[in-house]
Amino acid sequence: MTDPLASAEIAAGSFHEAAHAVAAIELGMCEITVRIIPDRSMSGVQTDADISFACSALGNEPLWRTLQRRLTVMVAGPEWELFSAVQSSRRQVLREQRADRIAIVGVIRQLRNLCAMRGRTLRNCIEDAWNEAAHIRGLRNGQLVTIALALDASGSLTDSELRALFAQGTGPS
């Protein structure tokens, strides 16, 4: 017999990863793959899910914006967790999401080291990334649900599968 709590966790993991995937598509990432199979993440951290994608500059985009788009994709999963768990804080969500936390810290370090962002400017950039992730979640909820259900059923999705599902999802075009 299937444990209902385990099924609920798998579904939550699917929605978390789908939030990353939807933000990645919305923000122009390429070579996106997502999986919810227990293993090591691309960074070597033990995890039950993973997303990978390429983030290249769009047009003459400044480096800080390219990194902020990457940051937005990385916070999209934790932002979904925050949205779905009314009493959580960003700190609590990130404490539970080690692989995401490591990736987020890595991007923040790049913003500091490569773009010389500090203080209020860096805080605003991070806050804007969380806000953009929330906006995308609200705007593309239909696509998020479509992708989460497919991911829950299959365990992994490729870039072409994600884009086809994104196109099928209900929501604004």
pLDDT higher than 70, residue 97: yes
Mean pLDDT of 48-77: 87
Domains of the chain with CATH codes: 4-164 (1.20.58.760)
- Residue 171 is predicted with a pLDDT of 53
pLDDT higher than 90, residue 112: yes
Mean pLDDT of 35-52: 60
How far is the C-alpha of 91 from the C-alpha of 78, rounded, in Å? 10
The answer to whether 172 touches 139, Cβ cutoff 8 Å, is: yes
pLDDT higher than 80, residue 2: no
The answer to whether 70 touches 18, Cβ cutoff 8 Å, is: no
DSSP 7-34: HHHHHHHHHHHHHHHHHHHHTT-EEEEE
